Structure 1
Amino acid sequence: MSALQRFHETASDALEKISANLPAGAKICLAIYTPEKPELDILLQDKGLDLNEVLSTLRRRGLSIDGDNAYKRDLLDSAVGAMAFGVQNRNSPPAGHWGQRFWDIGREERALSEELLVALQAARELWGDSLPPGNSNAMKAMKLVDAAIAKATQ
């Protein structure tokens, strides 16, 4: 029997003994990790264990959302991606998916940008090139409008 198999057997036996003394309904898990070597990670868990509840327990005990880990990076990349897809109005998440909220934010921001662009273009058409001579504030405002239109239509 390998050392790893002996460890699993010993740990499983210990967890069974500990479980027998837990309050009714309590669950137990054992997580072992080796930094920089995820292939050596071990997770032993009770039947019916809810890993989301384990994560909630860790958060209640001090796990911060400010720490850096791959799960959070992946989650945030997914949220940013959902917003980007919303801006592009493509790849909408399936009904009821958590990403829908972020996709909707992207759609709303895009709609607001388009509305502002239409307003700027209308202002440009109304003012045209017929600004009163010597009105430097109006000329400055028109340059800002032109720059915003150019940036939005690139």
Structure 2
Amino acid sequence: MSATERFHNTANDCLERLAADLWPDAKLALVIYTAGKPELDIVLKDSGLNVDEVVSTLRRRGGLGLDGENIYKRLLCDAILGAMVFGKQNSNPPPAGHWGQEFWHIGRAEGALQEELVHALRLVRKELDSCQRVIHYAGGFNPAYVNDAQAAIKVADAVLKKIPA
């Protein structure tokens, strides 16, 4: 029997004795880790242990918070950002009932708003350009109006170049 197996058995026996002295419904877990060596991690769990409750306990009592870096938080944030981006693009929605749907819908709302604003900007730009052409061909209008409108069209064109047609 390897040293790891002997330790595992000894730790398990100790945890069983500790668990027997706990109050009713209490659960016990032991986590052993070596930084940078996940292959050496050991997790011993009481039967019926809810790992979400373990994380909540670590948050409440063990200093686990949103600040600081760990791979779980990084992956969770990446999943949230991905759901929002997919929502904005109106593609790849999460399955029904999935927690990512909320973030997908936030992204979808932003994407829909952007589409609506771009459509409005294109329409205003087209109509302003048409008005400018009429003014130019008719003559006799205030040149300052024409110059300001032309500058506004250039601003709209610069923004619209950033948006795919």
Q: Give the TM-score normalised by structure 2.
A: 0.87
Quote the residue 1:32 is aligned against.
32
Higher radius of gyration, 1 or 2: 2
The gaps in structure 1 that reach 5 residues or longer are: none
Question: What CA deviation, in whole Å up to 9, does each residue of 1:39-77 have, x standing for no partner?
Answer: 100000100000000000000022111111111111111
Over the residues paired in the alignment, what is the CA RMSD in angstroms? 1.6
Alignment pair present for 1:44 and 2:44 = yes
> Which aligned pairs between 1:3-152 and structure 2 lie closer than 5 A?
3-61=3-61, 62-128=63-129, 130=132, 133-135=143-145, 137-152=148-163
User: Structure 2: how far apart are the matches of 1:133 and 1:54?
Assistant: 72
AA at the equivalent of 1:66: D
Identity %: 55
User: Structure 2: how far apart are the matches of 1:153 and 1:45?
Assistant: 53
The gaps in structure 2 that reach 5 residues or longer are: 136-141
AA at the equivalent of 2:78: D
How many residue pairs match? The answer is: 154
AA at the equivalent of 2:103: F
4+ residue runs over 6 A deviation: none
User: Structure 1: how far apart are the matches of 2:17 and 2:151?
Assistant: 78
Q: Give the TM-score normalised by structure 1.
A: 0.93
